[in-house]
Structure 1
Amino acid sequence: MRKFSRPLRAVTAASMALVLGASLAACGGASGESQSTGEANLRWSWWGSDPRHAVNQEIIEDYTAANEGITIEGEFSDFSGYWDKLATMTAGRDAPDVITMDEKFLQEYASRGALADLTELENLDLSKFDDAALDLGKFEDGLYGLSTGRNALTVVINADLFEEAGVEIPDDTTWTWDDYYRISKEISENLDGVSGSDYGNSPDGSLRVWLRQHGESLYNDTSDGVGYTPETAEAFFEHLLKVRDEAGGATPSEWTEAQAGTFEGQSFPTNKTAMSWYWSNQLGLLRTSTDSDVRMLRAPSHTGNEADNGMYYKASMYWSISSQSENKDAAADFVNYLANNEEAAKKMLVDRGVPVNPDMAAAVRPELDEAAQSVVDFLEEIEPNVALSPSPSPAGGGGVQDIILRYDSEVLFGNLTPAQAAEQMTTEIEALIGAA
């Protein structure tokens, strides 16, 4: 059978480059104090879609027009290429001043001295961010990432395909995994060329939700190992097989090829799948890609009680500042603009999650289209039953998503049993974290 082996370029590059650059921050080089004198040339890096690029360029133009002597160069790429490039630049002492950071890599970069402690920068006002939001960007005693907003992993459905298949949309406050399998099967049987569901587009997110439904977590409290039992991981892989064999799920080949391609080419955005798993801030893109009525649902649970669905809020991404920056004060002032300025917030809206700064959240609400408003409403609706957010992935955790994806594939292609995959995946994750 065919194996799917997604390249681990980002993981390998990040690990190797940061090891090479680990001593750079410790041995001096870039001063801990900003050397900005009112004039500064900054670089700001990010990943994402063309609309995000356009908005960020507008933000740069607005900020530099109001701050004479400041120039900002935008650097952007797709998600996987972004981490290769950032790791290489960091090792070469050429990191951007302002870095868009992801939770998978935050502690990796912070632990190696590659990021500045944001609490030490006077130009950045953190007073509007509550402790829960700030905790998501902490490593040890420092703050190395400021959350851009919050989102949640949701079940997304194509309501047009549901209607075409004659399948009723479930009550997501009470539905169970058995309901999920039944609905997926009915849609697959009623529509030619459409799978009822696939296996998710955030491998670590899907596994986290499953583990949380069992009172477990991906990492333990000390972040030096996993926080789950092999039996629960095995049950997750058995769930994937149930979607494949009994629920009319997408074929392994369809799914893995879609995962290796672009966002727009995945099975759900191309109307080949009626249910999938995406982050809430992607709703607008999904509606545009499918040209369909895409809606978000809570995750199903084993009990039919929404309090048991394992959902959680995640920091969509973070603003970080390089420890190598020679213009930390200027970089902090720009991050302050991104985090606390209403005009900037109105341009970004909820593309980076719903702002956790309440003033910014209030400022963007009147500007939102129907899709974005749906995201805000949804996150508010689920709040009473959302458990505490997990801490950022431990150092070394940047490669865990690719590990999980690889073992998902090994199980779906029949190369490993669920028990074998659970054991080998756990060993590999713990080795990766232990080596960090």
Structure 2
Amino acid sequence: MFRLVPLRSFSLSRLPSRRFNSTVAPKPLDGIRVLELGQLIAGPFCGSILGYYGADVVKVEPPKTGDPLRKWRHVDEDGESPWFRSLGRNKKSICIDLRTDQGRSLVKKLAQDVDVLIENFKPGTMEKWGLGPEDLYATNPGLIYTRISGYGQTGPYSKRPGFAAVCEGMGGFRYVNAVPGEAPVRPNISLGDSLAGIHAALGVLLSLIGRNKLAGTAEKTGQVVDVAIYESMLNMMESIIPEYDRFGQIRQPSGSTVTGVVPTNTYPCKEGQYVIIGGNGDTIYKRLMKAIGREDLVGAEYETNAHRVKAQELIDGAISEWTATKTPDEVLDALEQASVPAGKIYNAKDIVEDEHINARGMIETVTVGKPEEGRGYELKVPGMSPILQTTPGATKWAGPDLGQDTVEVLEKSLGLSKEQISSLKEQGIINQ
């Protein structure tokens, strides 16, 4: 059985303000054991979510190199990226070479005693290694085998390599995320991967509930969770499919607006800044027009959203004329008094410094390393949502150093002797 103990290399984070309860309560996933085999974003994000809410997560990484995310984007003085320190939070790191028979044998043994396995390799890879679902269910029939890939485990495209950028296109997102007449825009994040990670975590939770319902009625109570990145995007596409089916309408790119909803847009302010205003509710719209001094645009011909869609250019133009004479703060002050939804467009600095975001505990601080190790710096990481009032999640420690827990896990989980572990190290099967 996996039993995680406090890490020596990382101190506990400060108690986050999102802990609204005054008593110490178990986290909802306490006791759930997770073996994470994924790399980069989708699989590891699923593991991060589960670990945040109490699951014991052991991350398997290749010796020497580790998860490539450790070196992506900005790299700290200790050679690790802050991105990995965030995404790898609350996990233990062990290094095992899955390209070797002995390495795969170790992972197979570890998988016998976990509740959840997460992998996001190309479909067929785990089966090639003898680590597919049917290879593991013989000894662990309750396993929740969680798979993330570009196109899913079945279907004619399943064997294709599927990166988030490509799958965002197939899922319909990129088509609508553009300015009319221009190339579709990529958001400067791996949105498809993160959404796939969330869907995978949801699949794990549903499967754990399903396992409880099957207990005592079936020998095999675990199941495969099959998450496709393109399907995770497709899940977000709202009404585009039924509208096409019923009316033959293909929703087109609409820039900063939303097709068929008026007014909701990004409007210019002084000094090249912008604000977002959502005034599309019927009563909200009337308050908005009063606040900007355009009550001439209130009446029967503007009464409902269907009416306003026909006058979108006129309405957006009137709002833009008003916002262009003001700073974002002046716009927001006026619209707050009118009870009209509006807000600034935040960058990272704005997020970290915002009083509401901090009051909600969505910025957490964790300490990486110790001064005696030549480091010991604090790192801000985003809190996770949802906020649970009685059994909240928390960041207990930052993403671990590569392979720092290999010996501990192999000793305690598999009962290997120091001599056996030394032999594995010498062969390069586990980290040096």
The TM tier, using the shorter chain, reads under 0.3
TM-score, normalised via structure 1 length? 0.20
Structure label with greater radius of gyration:
2
TM-score of the aligned structures, taking structure 2 as reference length: 0.20
Of structures 1 and 2, the one with the larger relative CO (CA 8 A, separation 6+) is 1
Greater helix share, 1 or 2? Answer: 1
